[in-house]
Chains A and B, each alone.
Chain A
């Protein structure tokens, strides 16, 4: 029951002004434009890096504001951070294979 109260507060807490949502939307659109523009410049491997960095920023904005994570309980934040952490484990440990596959050379290769 005591948790309900906590929950109620967070409900009240995240009534944010409409102007903020419009501002976030504008930022997202701007980043979309930058993504399209960046794709037209030849940056070699950095094309994908730039695209992913922008996408990450946009995703973070959506989660923080549109999905109200900024105004959520600590437990919700821990949940989100934990899932991202596990995604990094998936990517990170998989990359230990892909990045080091060529290190050892075999005779004839």
Chain B
């Protein structure tokens, strides 16, 4: 296949045509993925800037760098940008968009124009929310809890809510596109049992996007209506109930955690099996665990409300249901581990990130079990313990998986290899920086340090300084890939079609793929992850 000496670059989706219009009006899922990559990277740095301001303020016990009002806005905007404009779209909109058609052997997603529309909606939502931030910001916390968001806050709540509302439609459209593509556009022979686990987990996440996102959209609209027109939904004086907001909000926002993590788990399944040279252990269980997580995820939301004044009996039910989510999550972790058992493991950058994911996600998941138990939750609610827990899942888990996936598929997406040494260093820096930032927060929280204050008692300073120091290491770990990825676009070695000797249809076309993905529609006659029947020799880079 790749025998031709590549003196003249083969036509591919990147060089098929040029000019800004060919990008902004493209319906090619691969180009739309690149548009998403650029926009969510910008959002990541904006959200990261807010995070660095928070960590700088917390370097000293006194609230000296920013005022308490500004601090409230900083953590709110950090949360909004990172959750709604980075984490939720990250893996699905970038890697999912790029890879799902390739993985199922299709020429594009089912609705290419809808796909482009989803990016424009994302941009419209993002710009609306950023405008609200530039005009003065929001201070309600990313959760917009009533009655603060409806009655008392005098910041730009409606602007931010409308931004998230619009971006929600982008998410729904992406989800719909994935579901229909996976149902209808699979190549001949690509049965459900041969479907890559990345597709399974994105399918599960897409179900949540379609089922859950309308609820948050309606909820935020109700907040806007109550603020603007004083319609009584959440305000008790007008006949509403403030806790109803939390019910509705978390009905979406707990499953949204799985919108973020499930596609990441799909990335890890692909990488662990490839760099262990073994078929994934218990394929069916890993695939169905994704669906189980998606469904169970809708039954647990009130674990965010244990101390909010809900009925203790309801709290008991939700506590029990929350424990159940640990089962399919653990199935995945155990199966990845079993996949590596006796595998011939290669320590390439994607695998290093995957190791990081498995370890950190396990810590994040298990501390989630602590929080699901009523007794411990009452003690640590609204402390740094919770902050550490969800950052272990979201950053230690999800961002790690995103980085793993970017490194795994970068040769496919860009057609270029990145410098492996620098990439390994960045994986190490991210792992060390992350743990230094967030592990101290578990201890802080357990000692009772509450979240969302810009000042704290002096005895907590050592742990806070550690955390801030760690965050600067983490920042370097994130800046590095940004630099060498950009560098590789120009100076990187051209990537062969299959640099990792991986199986999967996306590796059977050139790097970068042509606009129509495959020269002829592939016919699948083999099982997924058929690594045992593959030549064990590595196809080395630049052969």
Binding site for B on A (CB under 8 A): 3, 75, 82-83, 86, 89-90, 93-94, 96-101, 103-104
Closest 8 CB pairs of A and B: A97-B314, A101-B311, A100-B311, A100-B313, A96-B314, A97-B310, A94-B247, A86-B211
CB<8 Å pairs between A and B, sample of 21: A3-B184, A75-B183, A82-B211, A83-B211, A93-B302, A93-B314, A93-B317, A93-B318, A96-B313, A96-B314, A97-B302, A97-B310, A97-B311, A98-B311, A100-B313, A101-B310, A101-B311, A101-B314, A104-B311, A104-B312, A104-B313
A13 and B301 CA atoms in complex are apart in Å by 42
Per the bound structure, the CA–CA distance linking A3 and B185 in Å amounts to 10
Q: How far is the CA of A98 from the CA of B244 in the complex (A)?
A: 9
Look across to chain A and name the residue whose beta carbon is closest to the beta carbon of B298.
A89
Contact size range, B: 20 to 34
Query: Which of B243, B301, B311 has the largest count of A CB atoms less than 10 A from its CB?
Result: B311
Q: Which residues of B contact A3 (CB under 8 A)?
A: 184
**In the complex, chain B residues whose CB is within 8 Å of the CB of A99:** 311
Interface residues of B (CB under 8 A from A): 183-184, 211, 215, 243-244, 247-248, 251, 298-299, 301-302, 310-314, 317-318
Among B247, B312, B314, max chain A CB count under 10 A is at: B314
A101–B311 CA distance with the chains assembled, in angstroms:
4
**Assuming A93-B314, A96-B313, A100-B313, what are 11 further A-B pairs, CB within 8 angstroms?**
A86-B298, A90-B215, A90-B248, A90-B251, A93-B318, A94-B244, A94-B251, A97-B247, A100-B314, A101-B310, A101-B314
Residue of B whose beta carbon sits closest to that of A83: B211
Give Cα distance in the complex from A75 to B183, angstroms. 10
Min Cβ gap A70→B in Å is 21
Closest to B310 in A: A97
- B211 touching A97, Cβ below 8 Å: no
A97 touches B243 (CB 8 A): yes
Question: Are B313 and A103 touching (Cβ within 8 A)?
Answer: yes
Q: B299's contact among A75, A82, A89, by CB below 8 Å, is which?
A: A89
Q: How far is the CA of A101 from the CA of B247 in the complex (A)?
A: 14
